Amino acid sequence: MKFYTQSHDFYCGIDLHARTMYLCILNKEGQIVLHRNMPSSPDALLTAIAPYRSNLVIGVECMFCWYWMADLCAREQIAFILGHALYMKAIHGGKAKNDKIDAHKIAGLMRGGMFPQAYVYPSEMRSTRDLLRRRMHLVRQRADCLAHIHNTNSQYNLPAIGQPLARKKHRGGVVERFTDSQAQKSVAVDFGLIEYLDNAIHDLELTITRLARQHDPVAFKLLLSVHGIGPTLALVMLYEIHLIARFPTVQNFASYSRLVKCSKESAGKLYGYSGKKIGNAFLKWAFSEAAVGFLRANPPAQKYHARLVRKHGKGKALSIIAHRLGRAVYHMLSSGKPFDNERFFKSTSSRAENRMSA
């Protein structure tokens, strides 16, 4: 957890919503100089903070509508910090909760040096990252349509389709399998949606790949050098990581990618693990998928995986490989050197595996 500890003359905590926001500005002595509810608009904000903006910092909780606030502060050269939502939930919980109280507590956390920071993703790549996340949503919708066709086939107790419907050449004659006209219509609607989504996803992939080669062609090429990481996973890693330099150590990166467990200890006793939802869920998915792809047509990886399975079981074996791939990607992007499959397996040892599985 990283806290904001810089000193300012004024601290502006904002409980931000889509249409309204509640401002609380504290001076360095902790006195309230402004407490006001107002519309969520740039003009209203700039007017309210005008008397205090000479040495002011603005802090908001990380939620879905912080983009415009960060961009406005960047244009106006106002210090802006983004609060980590899960950490702030643990810190400023209280018996009573409303917008006025929340804004005051956000300002107090900043003044006391206890404001947990989240990463303010730069605006020039932010929309592309959101477009990539939208692609994932469309892929899941496409998978739902495919699953519904197979479920409908099972409902009518028909023989298994036996062909992967994800490929267009295998979809012929599937609608005609059903004798009920309404069932035929349902399946035909699914195929229509799948065809539309196929075209939309393909168009998105071309657009994002072109933008990735403009934003960071070196990192994109380095990620593609890893066995099992294709264009889609490379894009996810590229845009979710952004700058590898923002992680001071490989341990920080592994934690952010949800590749490690966080233990809860007190007085020398272990009380389990926590923090599973703290970190980047998209990177966790990407490295988990990369671990599976890493085993395909890779005999040394398959041999290493079999050894891990005997020692830890199937689930933990894949988790260890995902963790090792995450560490390899960190060092690869930090050094600018492509992935070395031989070096990856030379570094494997029982001591390293035990440390990762702990």
Q: What three-state secondary structure class fits 222?
A: helix
Helix axes 299-312, 314-335, angle to 10 degrees: 130
Q: Does residue 86 share a domain with residue 70?
A: yes
Flag whether 346 is in a domain.
yes
Q: Does residue 70 share a domain with residue 29?
A: yes
Confidence of residue 350 (pLDDT cuts 50, 70, 90): very low
If you ran DSSP here, which 8-state letter would residue 267 be given?
T
Distance CA 101, CA 109 (A): 12
What pLDDT is stored for residue 348 in this prediction? 60
What pLDDT is stored for residue 91 in this prediction? 72
Query: For the domain that residue 80 is a member of, what is the CATH number?
Result: 3.30.420.10
pLDDT single digits (tens) 44-82: 999 999 999 999 999 999 988 999 999 999 999 999 999
Confidence of residue 262 (pLDDT cuts 50, 70, 90): confident
Does position 351 have pLDDT exceeding 50, yes or no? no
What pLDDT is stored for residue 32 in this prediction? 97
Q: Does residue 114 share a domain with residue 140?
A: no
CA angle 156, 157, 160 (to 5 degrees): 115
Q: Does residue 349 share a domain with residue 316?
A: yes
Does position 353 have pLDDT exceeding 70, yes or no? no
Flag whether 221 is in a domain.
no
Flag whether 220 is in a domain.
no
pTM of the predicted structure, to 2 decimals: 0.88
What would the DSSP string read from start to end of 112-152? TT-EEEE----HHHHHHHHHHHHHHHHHHHHHHHHHHHHHH
Q: What three-state secondary structure class fits 270?
A: strand
What pLDDT is stored for residue 354 in this prediction? 52
Single residue among 83, 100, 118 that ends a domain in this structure? 118
Q: Determine what percent of the chain is predicted with pLDDT higher than 90.
A: 84
Q: Does residue 98 share a domain with residue 43?
A: yes
What would the DSSP string read from start to end of 160-208? P--S-TTSGGG-TTSGGG--SHHHHHHHHHHHHHHHHHHHHHHHHHHHH
Flag whether 224 is in a domain.
no
Flag whether 147 is in a domain.
yes
Tokens of 158: 């028909």
Of residues 271 and 280, more confidently modeled: 280
**What are the strands, taking DSSP E only, across 62-114?**
79-83
Q: Does residue 258 share a domain with residue 150?
A: no
Flag whether 145 is in a domain.
yes
Does position 167 have pLDDT exceeding 80, yes or no? yes
260 Ramachandran zone, left/alpha/beta (phi>0; psi -120 to 50)? beta
Using alpha carbons, list the distances in angstroms from residue 49 to 26, 36, 41, 224, 339.
Answer: 11, 11, 13, 47, 50
Q: Does residue 320 share a domain with residue 257?
A: yes
Does position 349 have pLDDT exceeding 90, yes or no? no
Residue owning tokens 């802006």: 80
What pLDDT is stored for residue 94 in this prediction? 76
Single residue among 118, 141, 157 that ends a domain in this structure? 118
Cα 233 to the chain's mean position, in Å? 13
Does position 357 have pLDDT exceeding 80, yes or no? no
Does position 180 have pLDDT exceeding 50, yes or no? yes
Q: Does residue 298 share a domain with residue 193?
A: no
Find the farthest-apart pair of alpha carbons in the chain and give their distance in angstroms, rounded. Answer: 78
Distance CA 324, CA 347 (A): 10
Distance CA 173, CA 180 (A): 14
Confidence of residue 116 (pLDDT cuts 50, 70, 90): very high
Q: Does residue 131 share a domain with residue 94?
A: no
Structural domains counted in the chain = 3
Confidence of residue 263 (pLDDT cuts 50, 70, 90): confident
Q: Does residue 98 share a domain with residue 144?
A: no
Q: Does residue 131 share a domain with residue 41?
A: no
Residue 231 CB neighbours (<10 A): 14
Flag whether 24 is in a domain.
yes
Flag whether 49 is in a domain.
yes
Average pLDDT of the chain is: 92
Q: Does residue 157 share a domain with residue 194?
A: yes
Which range marks the domain in which residue 202 is found?
Answer: 125-215
Does position 88 have pLDDT exceeding 90, yes or no? no
In angstroms, the first-to-last Cα distance of the chain is 21
Of residues 301 and 89, more confidently modeled: 301
Does position 296 have pLDDT exceeding 80, yes or no? yes
Give the mean pLDDT of 268-281. Answer: 86
Which residues have a Cβ under 8 Å from the Cβ of 63 and sit 6 or more positions away?
16, 85
Q: Are 301 and 321 in contact (CB under 8 A)?
A: yes
Does position 222 have pLDDT exceeding 90, yes or no? yes
